[in-house]
A and B are shown apart, each in its own frame.
Chain A
Amino acid sequence: MKELTIKNVRRAGSDTLESVTVENGVIKGWNLGDLGTVVDGQGGTVAPALIELHAHLREPGQTEKEDLASGLAAAAAGGYGTVVSMPNTRPVVDDPAIVRSLIEKADRLGFARLRPAAALTRGQKGEQLAELTALKEAGAAMFTDDGLTNENARTLRLGLEYAGSLGMVVSVHAEDATLRADGVMNEGPVSEALGLPGNPAAAEAARVARDVEIVAQTGARLHVQHLSTARALDIVRDAKRRGLPVTCEVCPHHLTLTDEKLRSFDAIYKVAPPLRTQADADHLLQGLLDGSVDCIATDHAPHTRAEKERDLLEAPSGIAYIELAFPLMWTRFGEQLGLERLLDLMTGAAARVMGWPEPTLEEGAPADLVVLDLETERTVEPATFKSKAKFTPWAGESLKGWPTLTVVNGKVAYQRQD
């Protein structure tokens, strides 16, 4: 295979312009000259491609919202080289044949690399375990019942033990469904003033506390998805102090938006778990700074515009923004986090959660790279999104840190066209 050389790029923390050449899916070396196809990185920062641990790509079954082609192209445009897709599709990804077919199709597309998560239980019903061994062999990256909330604690225990014996991570959408009840937004003064059913912080905290105790009992690996409350983070922090194998992710929307946004009654802000208070957002950011939060994931959850134009009770939950996750984080929190920490939260940290090899820029490492333009401010224009969900809470905002080039497995998966 012909080489690809990216010239005029700098590594994070360095001012030196260098070139990197990739061949056969790995990094061939640095500063080897203009070998093969040459792309000008225009002084951008090169880093291992981002890793997304939580995205809904909606295929099979809900391709009016998103499909592998649109979702993985969007991911590549967002600088992601690897995406873990959630299994709550139609049908649910609980069958090894579905896992294989998704991976094969994604490989043909040539955008971001797909690592599908599979259901922990058949049909994500929380009753009978899925065939976890066969799913792992088919290529499943982790197990989760995701939006279905593992109401049966014993089933979760068994799933954790079984998955743990396979060396696999189980991730959970930690909300007590009975406490959440019919809540559509954070419970508090805003929900009460608006007359919208509230989802209390206790629903998340209580469920995380329960799950931590199951981990303490079993010693099995648990990853908590999209933490949204200060209290739940404190419980995870405490579990880590106890040495328990618990990790967690937070989402940029929980760091940058609060329940005040619901005063617009715009269902674009309806998401599960819901947008919380500024105090929660501040606490989550603190968790990113002090290391108690392991990584950043987006919970990219596309829906059709018509669905999101329904009223707040009817509209489905989810915000889709995989294309602007890095620019959003870099613009809002770049100074506090610093470039290297932010990049790690979106690459190396995610890999460590999964037990994958550490992404590096060393010779011989997989050629999954992103080039980021950290300086140029650009307006968020949803019409240009590759995702089918061409709307976003950040439309019209000015962000910097846009990816200009994403290379996956040594091939260009995205290149900015202006």
Chain B
Amino acid sequence: MTPATSLTGPRPRHLLDFQGWTPERLNALLDNADTMAQVLDRPVKKVPALQGLTVCTAFFENSTRTRTSFELAARRMSADVMTFAAGSSSVSKGESLRDTMEVLTAYKVDAYIVRHHAAGAAHLVARYSGKPVINAGDGRRAHPTQALLDAYTIRQEYGSLEGKRVAIIGDVRHSRVARSNAELLPKLGAEVVLCGPATLLPRDLAALPGVTVTSDPREAVRGAHAVMALRLQQERMNGGFLASLQEYADTYQVNEALMQHAESGAIVLHPGPMNRDLEISSDAADGKRSRILKQVENGQAVRMSVLYHLLVGRE
């Protein structure tokens, strides 16, 4: 493994979102994920890069998959992993996030991987802990490693993000995955189209560079090289955002019929877990265009690369 060298500018201390991350550094991070992927193909899937370091997954919101992916990534780099799982109610029971972080810091943690139901919580952890923080999802705000693994998966397909068009379809309003991709992919040269019913599609997101919005799914996928379906939380029904799940599926489901309007070799992505036959059809989820399991696999390598980038070679 070779650390990314010859990069100019200060190395970001955290991965909270993509503010302060240059395209060069992001590409280096993705390049390094290739090296990590090779490690994962070996019979012994372990390297000593993080030996002696303690990484804490601080999950204030449940997520078995993301936590498992991060913990495996850290262990494969020989870090000690500490799991802190708190229900999102711990804050409302009176202990502030700051108090919690002070307790955890007393355990001599070297880096935090944070998931929280509130946007900005990872920023607060970075401020309160003083240690490198990787945001594993904060409210609707950001889920940067998911966006990185999405970018990595698209890059794997096309060699580069440059000039590629990526359609993201579904509950954009409540999606940190959509926001992080809308922030990351244009930095890497891609164009992002956000699509969903108007009630779940904040028009103000079109203010982001390289991002357009439309409520027409055919328009969204036209010319797209990758089409991502977002998970639809079924409780959005109660919020009055949708008339019915059936109407949603009839209009916005990513299926083979919709994919006929995309580029011929376009791939299908989904951040998981899927509601089959709601936001995505089984033919799209399981068909030859699908890279959904590849995303999960790539998540490991990308997270190893992020840990390496933030923790190795830093005083």
Binding site for B on A (CB under 8 A): 187-189, 191-197, 264-265, 306-307, 309-314
Please give the distance in Å from B179's CB to the nearest CB on chain A.
5
Report which of B97, B140, B208 forms a contact with A196, defined as CB distance below 8 A: B140
Inter-subunit contact A314/B91 (CB<8 Å):
yes
For B142, what are the chain A residues with a Cβ–Cβ distance below 8 Å?
Answer: 195
Inter-subunit contact B96/A193 (CB<8 Å):
no
For A191, what are the chain B residues with a Cβ–Cβ distance below 8 Å?
Answer: 204
For A309, what are the chain B residues with a Cβ–Cβ distance below 8 Å?
Answer: 96-98, 124
A–B complex contacts, Cβ < 8 Å, 6 sampled: A189-B207, A192-B207, A265-B119, A311-B120, A313-B117, A313-B119
Main secondary structure of the interface of A (DSSP, over half): loop
Report which of B96, B179, B204 forms a contact with A188, defined as CB distance below 8 A: B204
Complex Cα distance, B205 from A197, in Å, reads: 13
Please give the distance in Å from A91's CB to the nearest CB on chain B.
22
For A196, what are the chain B residues with a Cβ–Cβ distance below 8 Å?
Answer: 119-120, 139-141
Given A306-B96, A310-B97, A314-B91, A195-B116 contact (CB < 8 Å): no
Beyond the given pairs A195-B119, A265-B124, A311-B121, 17 more chain A to chain B contacts, judged by CB atoms under 8 angstroms and listed by A's residue number, are A187-B204, A189-B207, A191-B204, A192-B202, A192-B204, A193-B179, A193-B207, A193-B208, A195-B139, A196-B119, A196-B139, A196-B141, A197-B140, A310-B96, A310-B97, A311-B116, A314-B118
For B140, what are the chain A residues with a Cβ–Cβ distance below 8 Å?
Answer: 195-197
Question: B139-158: which residues lie under 8 A (CB-CB) from chain A?
Answer: 139-142
For A188, what are the chain B residues with a Cβ–Cβ distance below 8 Å?
Answer: 204
Question: Which 6 pairs across A and B sit closest by C-beta, in order of nearness?
Answer: A265-B120, A195-B140, A311-B118, A195-B141, A192-B204, A189-B207
Residue of A nearest to B117 (CB): A313
B6 contacts the other chain (Cβ, under 8 Å)? no
Complex Cα distance, B91 from A307, in Å, reads: 10
Report which of A192, A193, A313 forms a contact with B118, defined as CB distance below 8 A: A313
Tell which of B92, B142, B202, B208 has the most Cβ of chain A within 10 Å.
Answer: B202
Report how many A-B pairs have Cβ atoms within 8 Å.
Answer: 67
Please give the distance in Å from B187's CB to the nearest CB on chain A.
14
Complex Cα distance, B120 from A191, in Å, reads: 12
Complex Cα distance, B121 from A28, in Å, reads: 58
Complex Cα distance, B118 from A309, in Å, reads: 13
B123 contacts the other chain (Cβ, under 8 Å)? yes
Complex Cα distance, B182 from A192, in Å, reads: 12
Please give the distance in Å from A393's CB to the nearest CB on chain B.
16
Question: B74-123: which residues lie under 8 A (CB-CB) from chain A?
Answer: 91-92, 96-99, 116-121, 123
Report which of B98, B118, B202 forms a contact with A306, defined as CB distance below 8 A: B98
Inter-subunit contact B207/A313 (CB<8 Å):
no
Please give the distance in Å from B70's CB to the nearest CB on chain A.
21
Complex Cα distance, B184 from A108, in Å, reads: 61
Report which of A187, A192, A307 forms a contact with B205, defined as CB distance below 8 A: A192
Inter-subunit contact B179/A311 (CB<8 Å):
no
Complex Cα distance, B121 from A310, in Å, reads: 9
Residue of B nearest to A182 (CB): B239
Please give the distance in Å from B8's CB to the nearest CB on chain A.
25
Given A265-B119, A313-B117, A195-B179 contact (CB < 8 Å): yes
B165 contacts the other chain (Cβ, under 8 Å)? no
Q: How large is the interface on B (under 10, 10 to 19, 20 to 34, 35 or more residues)?
A: 20 to 34
Please give the distance in Å from B122's CB to the nearest CB on chain A.
9
Complex Cα distance, B138 from A314, in Å, reads: 14
Report which of A187, A189, A197, A311 forms a contact with B124, defined as CB distance below 8 A: A311
Please give the distance in Å from A66's CB to the nearest CB on chain B.
19
For B92, what are the chain A residues with a Cβ–Cβ distance below 8 Å?
Answer: 314
For A193, what are the chain B residues with a Cβ–Cβ distance below 8 Å?
Answer: 179, 204-205, 207-208
Residue of A nearest to B91 (CB): A314
Residue of B nearest to A304 (CB): B96
For A197, what are the chain B residues with a Cβ–Cβ distance below 8 Å?
Answer: 140
For A265, what are the chain B residues with a Cβ–Cβ distance below 8 Å?
Answer: 119-121, 123-124
Inter-subunit contact B120/A312 (CB<8 Å):
yes
Report which of B96, B117, B119 forms a contact with A194, defined as CB distance below 8 A: B119
For B309, what are the chain A residues with a Cβ–Cβ distance below 8 Å?
Answer: none
B303 contacts the other chain (Cβ, under 8 Å)? no
Question: B198-242: which residues lie under 8 A (CB-CB) from chain A?
Answer: 202, 204-205, 207-208
Please give the distance in Å from A380's CB to the nearest CB on chain B.
21
B67 contacts the other chain (Cβ, under 8 Å)? no
Please give the distance in Å from B87's CB to the nearest CB on chain A.
13
For A314, what are the chain B residues with a Cβ–Cβ distance below 8 Å?
Answer: 91-92, 118
For B91, what are the chain A residues with a Cβ–Cβ distance below 8 Å?
Answer: 310-311, 314
For B116, what are the chain A residues with a Cβ–Cβ distance below 8 Å?
Answer: 311
Residue of A nearest to B179 (CB): A195
Inter-subunit contact A194/B141 (CB<8 Å):
yes
B176 contacts the other chain (Cβ, under 8 Å)? yes
Please give the distance in Å from B90's CB to the nearest CB on chain A.
11
For A313, what are the chain B residues with a Cβ–Cβ distance below 8 Å?
Answer: 117-119, 139
Please give the distance in Å from A65's CB to the nearest CB on chain B.
15
Residue of B nearest to A262 (CB): B120
Residue of B nearest to A312 (CB): B120
Complex Cα distance, B29 from A225, in Å, reads: 51
Residue of B nearest to A311 (CB): B118
Report which of B97, B176, B208 forms a contact with A311, defined as CB distance below 8 A: B97
Complex Cα distance, B202 from A24, in Å, reads: 62
For A195, what are the chain B residues with a Cβ–Cβ distance below 8 Å?
Answer: 119, 138-142, 176, 179
Inter-subunit contact B207/A312 (CB<8 Å):
no
Complex Cα distance, B138 from A310, in Å, reads: 14
Please give the distance in Å from B147's CB to the nearest CB on chain A.
13
Complex Cα distance, B138 from A312, in Å, reads: 11
Please give the distance in Å from A310's CB to the nearest CB on chain B.
6
For B120, what are the chain A residues with a Cβ–Cβ distance below 8 Å?
Answer: 194, 196, 265, 311-312
Residue of A nearest to B143 (CB): A195
Complex Cα distance, B165 from A82, in Å, reads: 62
Complex Cα distance, B139 from A336, in Å, reads: 42
Inter-subunit contact B118/A312 (CB<8 Å):
yes
Complex Cα distance, B205 from A189, in Å, reads: 6
Residue of B nearest to A308 (CB): B96
Tell which of B120, B139, B140, B176 has the most Cβ of chain A within 10 Å.
Answer: B120
Please give the distance in Å from B140's CB to the nearest CB on chain A.
3
Complex Cα distance, B123 from A259, in Å, reads: 17
